[in-house]
């Protein structure tokens, strides 16, 4: 007695479900990538200078790559910078800091000088060469 199967097993593979999954993943990644915002600092850069600043007295401050400071021609460490700048600011009302940094100077060292000047209401000019 020979029994035959009524249903045949197909050896072909349907790719339609696989392409659906690929398109769904593509749509998902396209939507999520547009929602990601990069962390950036918003800078307000002036378009043109309209006012000239008259400088009666300025202090040369240089920040080196080895975290040393040169204030008015004198070398000093980070602990003495604030006292030196504060004593100079007290002597004159129109003092301006002319800040020059080395290429490899630490951002924290530069920020220290900027913070001291800002807390005392002193203008800072960046000397870029």
Task: Tell me whether residue 14 is in a domain.
Answer: no
Please check whether residue 82 lies inside any domain of the structure.
yes
| Residue 63, SS3 per DSSP | strand
> The pTM is what?
0.53
Nearest Cα to Cα of residue 80 among 66, 69, 95: 69
Is 33 contained in some domain? no
> What is the C-alpha to C-alpha distance for residues 41 and 9, in angstroms, rounded to an integer?
63
Answer yes or no: is 115 within a domain: yes
* pLDDT, tens digit (0-9, with 9 covering 90-100), for 110-125: 888 888 888 877 788 8
Domain that holds residue 99: 57-126
Read off the CATH number of the domain in which 92 is found. 3.30.420.270
Domain contains 84: yes
Task: Dump pLDDT digits (tens) for 39-80.
Answer: 666 767 767 766 666 666 778 888 888 888 888 888 888 788
Beta bridge partners, 70, equal 62, 75
Three-state DSSP class for 56?
coil
Number of domains composing the chain: 1
């Amino acid at each position: 007695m020979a029994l035959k199967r009524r249903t045949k097993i197909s050896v072909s593979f349907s790719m339609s479900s696989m392409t659906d999954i690929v398109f769904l993943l593509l749509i998902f990644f396209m939507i999520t990538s547009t929602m990601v915002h990069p962390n950036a600092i918003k800078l307000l850069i002036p378009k043109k200078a309209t006012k000239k600043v008259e400088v009666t007295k300025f202090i040369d401050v240089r920040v080196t790559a080895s975290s040393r400071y040169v204030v008015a021609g004198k070398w000093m460490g980070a602990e003495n910078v604030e006292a030196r700048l504060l004593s100079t600011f007290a002597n004159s009302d129109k003092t301006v800091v002319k800040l020059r940094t080395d290429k490899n100077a630490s951002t924290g060292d530069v920020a220290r000088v900027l913070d001291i000047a800002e807390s005392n209401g002193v203008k800072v000019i960046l000397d870029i060469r």
